């Protein structure tokens, strides 16, 4: 059985806090209620015009779920650091930290995040589990599928691709012009 679906972190900046009306939170909660996602962690930070910080953290994880996730994350980090023995030690360490509620962001970490955003703006960090993909992941694992690539295609990535293609086309045109000036390969 697949314990977790794919987990994603999304960071969003809001340069105009006057535009914030709760619509994004409403959408997140609707996606959660529909069991398409599970909110593992959400941090919202607002910095007013005087630099005063307000923040809220939300999670859907029960204490038991936090311990399981802590163990899973710790096991993977431990495995990467020291193989099988590291996985066992990492799982225990991750579960212990979660059991002692040594997770999430501290007030000082939130202040560090907020110091980097301008006054009268906001930022949100969202850590979600894609519940819709759990069955897909389970079937792929049963078939011994191996993830070869996993990425989201952003609008900015497409703009950058277009720029690279245009640059490549310019280089190709120049190379063609030089080829023609020299009379081809035999000239």
Q: Assess whether 18 and 102 both reside in one domain.
A: yes
Tell me, yes or no, whether 1 lies in a domain: no
Q: Assess whether 54 and 89 both reside in one domain.
A: yes
**Each residue's pLDDT tens digit in the chain (187 positions)?**
468 888 998 999 999 998 999 999 999 999 999 999 999 999 999 999 999 999 888 999 999 999 999 999 899 999 999 999 999 999 999 999 888 876 667 778 788 888 889 999 999 999 999 999 998 988 998 999 988 887 878 888 888 888 888 888 788 888 877 777 776 655 5
Q: Assess whether 45 and 115 both reside in one domain.
A: yes
Q: Assess whether 133 and 95 both reside in one domain.
A: yes
Q: Assess whether 12 and 98 both reside in one domain.
A: yes
Instruction: Indicate the pTM of the whole model.
Output: 0.73
Tell me, yes or no, whether 78 lies in a domain: yes
161 contacts: CB under 8 Å, gap ≥ 6: none
Q: Assess whether 111 and 179 both reside in one domain.
A: no
User: Range of 163's domain?
Assistant: 153-187
Q: Assess whether 45 and 74 both reside in one domain.
A: yes
Q: Assess whether 165 and 121 both reside in one domain.
A: no
Tell me, yes or no, whether 2 lies in a domain: no
Give how many domains the chain has, as a whole number.
Answer: 2
Q: Assess whether 139 and 172 both reside in one domain.
A: no
């Amino acid at each position: 059985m697949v314990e977790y679906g794919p987990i994603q972190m999304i960071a969003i900046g809001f340069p105009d806090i006057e535009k914030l009306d709760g619509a994004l939170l409403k959408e997140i909660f609707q996606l959660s209620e529909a069991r398409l996602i599970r909110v593992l962690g959400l941090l919202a930070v607002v910095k007013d015009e005087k630099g005063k910080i307000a923040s809220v953290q939300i999670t859907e994880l029960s204490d038991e779920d936090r311990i399981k996730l802590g163990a899973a994350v710790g096991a993977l980090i431990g495995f990467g650091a020291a193989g099988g023995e590291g996985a066992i030690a990492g799982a225990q360490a991750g579960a212990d930290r979660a059991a002692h509620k040594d997770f999430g962001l501290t007030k000082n970490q939130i202040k560090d995040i907020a110091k980097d955003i301008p006054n009268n703006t906001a930022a949100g960090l969202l850590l979600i589990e894609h519940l819709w993909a759990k069955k897909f992941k389970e079937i792929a694992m049963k078939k011994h599928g191996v993830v070869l690539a996993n990425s989201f295609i952003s609008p900015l990535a497409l703009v950058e691709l277009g720029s690279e293609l245009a640059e490549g086309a310019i280089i190709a045109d120049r190379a063609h012009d030089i080829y023609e000036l020299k009379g081809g390969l035999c000239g």
